């Protein structure tokens, strides 16, 4: 251990030097923002040294590199991550304290890089950190969105979307690499020239790499997150400008900018926008060109690509990379189709994230063909090969129609999932149930044809961000209890099992949780003006707003509980704070209505003296990574209540359990595996199974009868439907409630009674605090397996064949 005092002095000198010479400020005149910049630049220098070492080492070793292609990287803030992973948090904190500064305050100045919608984007960010931690040479490839995911404001209870201006003050973490630029074409025509085929795009933009270092735990390796920026080949048409057409002179640049302007937030809906397909091709093509260029430069022979490169497609958004790689191999490198196909399949693999049919990407064939005429030819060629294989394997017409890369039902469409499935050697689901359902439903026929291709890789989260950094109190307590080994191997948390019944440890755990709740309550009081009682049970549902995630089930139960508390004020109610947060896709009407309903219910309940502080409801605006880091350590109860069969995995569920919240949840996604690990007695499971949901949906389910049979449910639905919570617009929720009454696709009514019972079991358990604490400890102790280090180790071994 180097002496802390000398480390503090060194850090202090470094920061003051950076403040002077690179920020240009004297320490007496420096403002908070200057110190923030100095702190980042000081740690960044150390990161860069490791980055250069890592890159050199990768080239020297000449091993295989992993390329993770993702439309989204929800990385959040990077300062705390860098300090913590480099092991310099303590000395930086103290060096700043000597100047009267608080590190946490500086950290708040960093914008939250929100380049993703939710779980899929956050998974990509956790994976990048784990790849570096496991010392695997890897590049993340995505888009450098200028505005990224929208910022959510709540006006009169409604969601308002604002552009996120995360780059407004520059981004000290990124480095533009002008030498890594590629021309990306769109449209035009394909001409045959002897044996060769030449694509003449009608339009070209330049993709330029912008690199961000990603530090692994203990600073072992620093990998690169390479995000593409778009520029016009001719950013300013000077002749047009001089002729007086000032706007027209910039038109190409504006058009290029639009490619990287925003992330389409319509994550679970068919985004029909041509711009979205352009974005997908733009970043996939730039990435594949970069990968092929690097390989040829260092290895010479394109045929060895699969030995040196593993390309992982995070969902189908980069699926067109399959066709782009084929195009480069055949058109630019002159390989035969069959050889190119073998190389492509050996290099590429694909992760599926959803079974929702409306979220499976497909593009109208005429659009795809107009934008990517050469790729359309390649898709046809791949399809012909795949369908011949299917015919040879004896599959029937229905199976062949399902396998085809072209959907022939109605308007013809290109199926990106089928392209991704056939174009690689591995297709993985993200939790055991999800993988099983993939085999039975969306990919049933492809699975018949390629029975060994589908495999499971249950998601994970990085314990650095989601335990160590977001919950230093708990990290300290665990270290005190079992020593620091869990910091390098989260499965060592299991050592806590032996102490789960230890009352003294339980008390300390409760004290840590209480401090985190006080901190969250303070934050909510400052930002929203709402007072919360930190002794109440903090019941949290934070995630994207979607009908399948069933915020509505939680809200209907909240209303029922409100009724119960008013009817039976003499009972011994457990004081609860219901915390909600999440963004709704701007075009998703019901999701936006659910946000408004949450706020309408909150306004009514929070102002009602007859519940006497026993129940509070709060919708925290602009849910993002930083907010998650604040809320999760303060949660007592984690709501993971999706309709069974619909949540592929979930990763929020893992973060909460790791921070000692108990889960109330359905047998869905990774909840099932969490239950298997923490034990049935340490989780509140309720409701229909995926199989039962499928059965009910296939006929004979009558939600009206269910509602009539449940007094509490009926009263709650009718109160919401008739405007009790929306007296200003009594019909506001009529249709939303009719959805439950008429068809109840998401099984809100069907699961209501079981859920309400589960919540009363939660209450009973909360009243026995010793038991609650022991359960919380058992959760922390047994979810170490859900580290993204474990997930990445499985990808490395089974999919990427890394040695």
Ligand X SMILES: *Cc1c(COP(=O)(O)O)cnc(C)c1O
Which residues contact residue 452 at a Cβ distance below 8 angstroms, ignoring those fewer than 6 apart?
none
Whole-angstrom Cα Rg for the chain: 27
Helices vs. strands in the chain: H and E counts, helices first: 33, 22
149 touches ligand X by CB under 6 A: no
SS3 116: coil
Stretch in the footprint of ligand X (CB under 6 A) among 20-28, 117-125, 560-568, 569-577? 117-125
Q: Give residue 129's Cα distance to chain centre.
A: 14
Instruction: Give whichever of 120 and 577 is closer to ligand X, judged by the CB atom.
Output: 120
- CA gap 298, 307 in Å, rounded: 13
Bridge-based pairing state of the strands 662-665 and 637-640: parallel
122 touches ligand X by CB under 6 A: yes
CB of residue 465 to ligand X, shortest distance in Å: 9
Bridge-based pairing state of the strands 576-581 and 615-619: parallel
652 touches ligand X by CB under 6 A: yes
Encoded one letter per residue, x for contact with ligand X by CB under 6 A and - for no contact, window 16-55 reads ----------------------------------------
What's the Cα-to-Cα distance from 798 to each of 160, 310, 432, 457, 793, rounded to whole Å? Answer: 44, 12, 16, 9, 9
Write out the binding residues for ligand X, residues 572-631 only, by CB under 6 A.
624-625, 628
Please identify which residue in 11, 39, 58, 118 interacts with ligand X, judged by CB under 6 A. Answer: 118
Encoded one letter per residue, x for contact with ligand X by CB under 6 A and - for no contact, window 442-481 reads ----------------------------------------
Q: Is 237 a catalytic residue?
A: no
CB of residue 666 to ligand X, shortest distance in Å: 13
Give the tokens for residue 777.
């400890």
**Helix, strand, coil percentages for the chain (3-state, nearest 5):** 55, 15, 30
Q: Give residue 517's Cα distance to chain centre.
A: 25
Catalytic residue among 655, 677, 732, 778: 655
543 touches ligand X by CB under 6 A: yes
CB of residue 649 to ligand X, shortest distance in Å: 7
Nearest to 376, CA basis, from 188, 156, 183: 188
Which residues contact residue 719 at a Cβ distance below 8 angstroms, ignoring those fewer than 6 apart?
559, 563, 725
Instruction: Give whichever of 74 and 82 is closer to ligand X, judged by the CB atom.
Output: 74
DSSP conformational letter for 785: G
Q: Is 447 a catalytic residue?
A: no
Stretch in the footprint of ligand X (CB under 6 A) among 47-55, 201-209, 277-285, 651-659? 651-659
Which residues contact residue 713 at a Cβ distance below 8 angstroms, ignoring those fewer than 6 apart?
556, 560, 706, 707, 749, 752, 753, 756
Encoded one letter per residue, x for contact with ligand X by CB under 6 A and - for no contact, window 57-96 reads -----------------x----------------------
Instruction: Give whichever of 50 and 122 is closer to ligand X, judged by the CB atom.
Output: 122
- Find the DSSP H helices in 645-733: 652-658, 671-678, 690-697, 703-709, 711-721
Which residues contact residue 590 at a Cβ distance below 8 angstroms, ignoring those fewer than 6 apart?
547, 736, 739
Write out the binding residues for ligand X, residues 621-650 only, by CB under 6 A.
624-625, 628, 650
Q: Is 655 a catalytic residue?
A: yes
Catalytic residue among 375, 544, 546, 773: 544
Q: Is 549 a catalytic residue?
A: yes
Catalytic residue among 447, 543, 732, 790: 543
Say how many C-beta atoms besides its own lie within 10 A of residue 330's C-beta.
Answer: 21
- CA gap 142, 10 in Å, rounded: 36
CB of residue 578 to ligand X, shortest distance in Å: 16
Write out the binding residues for ligand X, residues 225-254 only, by CB under 6 A.
none
Looking at the DSSP bridge assignments, the partners of residue 210 are: 176, 227
| Closest residue by beta carbon to ligand X | 652
434 touches ligand X by CB under 6 A: no
Q: Are 143 and 116 in contact (CB under 8 A)?
A: no
CB of residue 726 to ligand X, shortest distance in Å: 27
Instruction: Give whichever of 429 and 650 is closer to ligand X, judged by the CB atom.
Output: 650
Catalytic residue among 221, 353, 375, 616: 353
Q: Is 651 a catalytic residue?
A: yes
Q: Is 353 a catalytic residue?
A: yes
CB of residue 628 to ligand X, shortest distance in Å: 4
- CA gap 539, 762 in Å, rounded: 10
Phi/psi at 181 (nearest 5 deg)? -130, 145
Stretch in the footprint of ligand X (CB under 6 A) among 114-122, 171-179, 322-330, 671-679? 114-122
Please identify which residue in 181, 345, 554, 651 interacts with ligand X, judged by CB under 6 A. Answer: 651
Residues that bind ligand X (CB under 6 A): 74, 118-119, 122, 543, 624-625, 628, 650-652, 655
Which residue numbers are catalytic?
353, 543-544, 549, 651, 655
């Amino acid at each position: 251990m180097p002496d802390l005092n000398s480390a503090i002095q060194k850090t202090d000198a470094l920061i003051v030097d950076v403040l002077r010479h690179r920020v240009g400020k004297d320490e007496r005149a420096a403002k908070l923002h200057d110190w923030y910049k100095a702190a980042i630049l000081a740690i960044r220098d150390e990161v860069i040294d490791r980055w250069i070492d890592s890159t050199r080492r990768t080239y020297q070793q000449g091993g295989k590199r992993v390329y993770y292609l993702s439309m989204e990287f929800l990385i959040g803030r990077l300062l705390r991550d860098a300090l913590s992973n480099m092991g310099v948090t303590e000395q930086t904190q103290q060096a700043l304290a000597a100047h009267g500064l608080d590190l946490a305050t500086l950290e708040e100045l960093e914008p939250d890089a929100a380049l993703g919608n939710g779980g899929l984007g956050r998974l990509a960010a956790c994976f990048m950190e784990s790849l570096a931690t496991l010392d695997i040479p890897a590049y993340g490839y995505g888009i450098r969105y200028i505005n990224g995911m929208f910022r959510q404001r709540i006006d009169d209870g409604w969601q308002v979307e604002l552009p996120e201006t995360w780059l407004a003050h520059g981004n000290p973490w990124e480095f533009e690499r002008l030498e890594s630029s590629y021309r990306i074409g769109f449209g035009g025509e394909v001409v045959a020239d002897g044996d060769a085929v030449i694509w003449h795009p009608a339009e070209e933009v330049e993709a330029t790499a912008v690199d961000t270092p990603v530090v692994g735990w203990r600073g072992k390796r620093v990998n690169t997150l390479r995000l593409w920026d778009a520029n016009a080949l001719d950013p300013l048409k000077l002749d047009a400008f001089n002729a007086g057409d000032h706007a027209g002179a910039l038109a190409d640049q504006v058009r290029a900018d639009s490619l990287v302007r925003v992330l389409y937030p319509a994550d679970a809906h068919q985004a029909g926008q041509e711009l979205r397909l352009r974005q997908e091709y733009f970043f996939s093509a730039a990435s594949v060109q970069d990968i092929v260029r690097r390989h040829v430069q260092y290895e010479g022979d394109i045929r060895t690509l699969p030995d040196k490169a593993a390309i992982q497609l995070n969902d189908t958004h980069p699926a067109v990379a399959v066709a782009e790689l084929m195009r480069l191999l055949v058109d630019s490198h002159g390989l035969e189709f069959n050889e190119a196909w073998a190389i492509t399949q050996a290099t590429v693999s694909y992760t599926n994230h959803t079974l929702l049919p409306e979220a499976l990407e497909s593009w109208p064939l005429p659009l795809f063909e107009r934008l990517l005429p050469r790729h359309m030819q390649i898709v046809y060629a791949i399809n012909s090969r795949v369908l011949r294989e299917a015919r040879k394997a004896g599959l029937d017409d229905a199976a062949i129609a399902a396998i085809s890369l072209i959907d022939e039902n109605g308007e013809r469409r290109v199926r990106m999932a089928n392209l991704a499935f056939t174009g690689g050697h591995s297709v993985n689901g993200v939790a055991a149930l999800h993988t099983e359902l993939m085999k039975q439903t969306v990919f049933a026929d492809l699975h018949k044809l390629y029975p060994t291709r589908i495999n499971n890789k249950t998601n994970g989260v990085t314990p650095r961000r989601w335990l160590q950094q977001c919950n230093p109190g708990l990290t300290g307590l665990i270290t005190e209890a079992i020593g620091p080994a869990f910091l390098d191997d989260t499965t060592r948390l299991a050592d806590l099992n032996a102490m789960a019944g230890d009352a003294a440890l339980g008390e300390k755990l409760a004290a840590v949780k209480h401090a985190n709740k006080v901190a969250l309550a303070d934050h909510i009081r400052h930002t929203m003006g709402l007072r919360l009682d930190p002794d109440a049970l903090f019941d949290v549902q934070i995630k994207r707003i979607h009908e399948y995630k069933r915020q509505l089930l939680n809200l209907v139960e909240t209303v029922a509980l409100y009724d119960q508390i008013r009817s039976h004020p003499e009972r011994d109610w457990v004081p609860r704070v219901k915390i909600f947060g999440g963004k709704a896709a701007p075009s998703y009407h019901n999701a936006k209505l659910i946000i408004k309903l949450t706020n309408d219910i909150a306004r009514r309940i929070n102002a009602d003296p007859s519940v006497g502080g026993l129940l509070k409801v709060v919708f925290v605006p602009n849910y993002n990574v930083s907010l998650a880091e604040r809320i999760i350590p303060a949660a007592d109860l984690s709501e993971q209540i999706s309709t069974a069969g619909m949540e592929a995995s979930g990763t929020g569920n893992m973060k909460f359990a790791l921070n000692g919240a108990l889960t109330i949840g359905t047998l869905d996604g990774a909840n099932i595996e969490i239950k298997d690990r923490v034990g049935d007695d340490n989780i509140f499971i309720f409701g229909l199974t995926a199989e039962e949901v499928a059965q009910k949906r296939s006929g004979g389910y009558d939600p009206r009868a269910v509602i009539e049979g449940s007094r509490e449910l009926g009263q709650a639905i009718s109160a919401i439907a008739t405007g009790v919570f929306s007296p200003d617009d009594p019909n506001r929720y009529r249709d939303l409630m009719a959805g439950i009454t008429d068809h109840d696709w998401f099984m809100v009514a069907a699961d209501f009674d079981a859920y309400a019972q589960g919540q009363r079991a939660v209450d009973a358990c909360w009243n026995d605090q010793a038991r609650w604490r022991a359960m919380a400890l058992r959760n922390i102790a047994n979810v170490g397996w859900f580290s993204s280090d474990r997930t990445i180790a499985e990808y490395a071994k089974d999919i990427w064949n890394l040695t």
